[in-house]
Amino acid sequence: MKTILLAFTCLTLGACVSMDASECRSANWYDVGFRDGLSGMQRMDVAYDEQCGKQGTKPDVVAYAKGWQEGVWEFDQRKAHGGEE
């Protein structure tokens, strides 16, 4: 039952966040946000904050949010133009 719940949660969130302490410390949070937005994902800063917090680090949520917003804008532009560049 726990496996089913975990799978459902991952699908609902769009992806499971899995970063080790080194990745949390060295991440370019703008780029992480941009990638998530460009993929059409919902904001994952809360999940990253929780995951990295378990590793003793904190993400730069301001940089993440800015990157995500710009990634979502790009995603929407591509979607509006049928995926054309």
What is the tens place of the pLDDT at every residue in 15-51?
567 889 999 999 999 999 999 999 999 999 999 999 9
Of 62, 64, 82, the closest CA to residue 72 belongs to: 64
Residue 7 has what pLDDT? 44
Of 85, 15, 7, 2, the closest CA to residue 48 belongs to: 15
Beta carbons within 8 Å of 61's beta carbon, 6+ residues apart: 29, 45, 49
Give the model's confidence band at 81: pLDDT under 50 very low, under 70 low, under 90 confident, else very high. confident
The per-residue DSSP string of 20-67 comes to: -HHHHHH--HHHHHHHHHHTTPPP-HHHHHHHHHHTT----HHHHHHH
Q: Model's pTM, two decimal places? A: 0.75
Q: In this model, does residue 65 exceed pLDDT 70?
A: yes
